């Protein structure tokens, strides 16, 4: 009798493991579209004059920092989501 009770208990415990809840599907996370844009082309200098070169240098530095900030935003987003990103 005790053997049957133990066998029934073991069977019930094992069926509980087999019929547990299904795992939740991982949601597809999409990064912000603005952070996924490629960096634009750098502006060429208008001429070889020092004033034009200085103006161009400032424009290139501004474009670089905008691109760097956008990609930093993407890295921050990835770290905030725990890198749980799946590509469609």
Q: Of 78 and 22, which is predicted with more confidence?
A: 78
Answer whether residue 32 is part of any domain.
yes
**What global pTM score does this model have?**
0.56
Q: Of 76 and 24, which is predicted with more confidence?
A: 76
Domain extent at residue 56 = 26-80
Q: What pLDDT, on a 0 to 100 scale, did the predictor assign at position 63?
A: 94
Answer whether residue 37 is part of any domain.
yes
Answer whether residue 21 is part of any domain.
no
Cα distance between residue 14 and residue 7, in whole Å: 11
Q: What pLDDT, on a 0 to 100 scale, did the predictor assign at position 19?
A: 63
Q: What pLDDT, on a 0 to 100 scale, did the predictor assign at position 58?
A: 96
Domains: count for the chain: 1
Q: What are the φ and ψ backbone dihedral angles of 82, each rounded to 5 degrees?
A: 70, 30
Answer whether residue 52 is part of any domain.
yes
Answer whether residue 58 is part of any domain.
yes
Answer whether residue 64 is part of any domain.
yes
Burial of 71 (0-12, 13-18, 19+ CB in 10 A): middle
Q: What pLDDT, on a 0 to 100 scale, did the predictor assign at position 65?
A: 94
Residue 62 tokens, joined: 């501004």
Residue 81 tokens, joined: 């989501």
CA distances from 68 to 18, 42, 48, 76 (A): 50, 14, 27, 12
Answer whether residue 30 is part of any domain.
yes
Going by C-alpha positions, the residue among 4, 3, 27 that lies closest to residue 81 is 27
């Amino acid at each position: 009798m005790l053997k049957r009770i133990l066998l029934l208990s073991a069977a019930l415990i094992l069926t509980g493991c087999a019929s547990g809840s299904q795992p939740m599907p991982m949601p597809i996370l999409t990064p912000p579209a603005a952070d996924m844009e490629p960096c634009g082309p750098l502006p060429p200098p208008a001429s070889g004059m020092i004033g034009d070169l200085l103006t161009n240098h400032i424009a290139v530095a501004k474009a670089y920092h905008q691109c760097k900030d956008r990609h930093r935003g993407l890295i921050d987003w990835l770290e905030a989501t725990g890198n749980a990103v799946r590509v469609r």
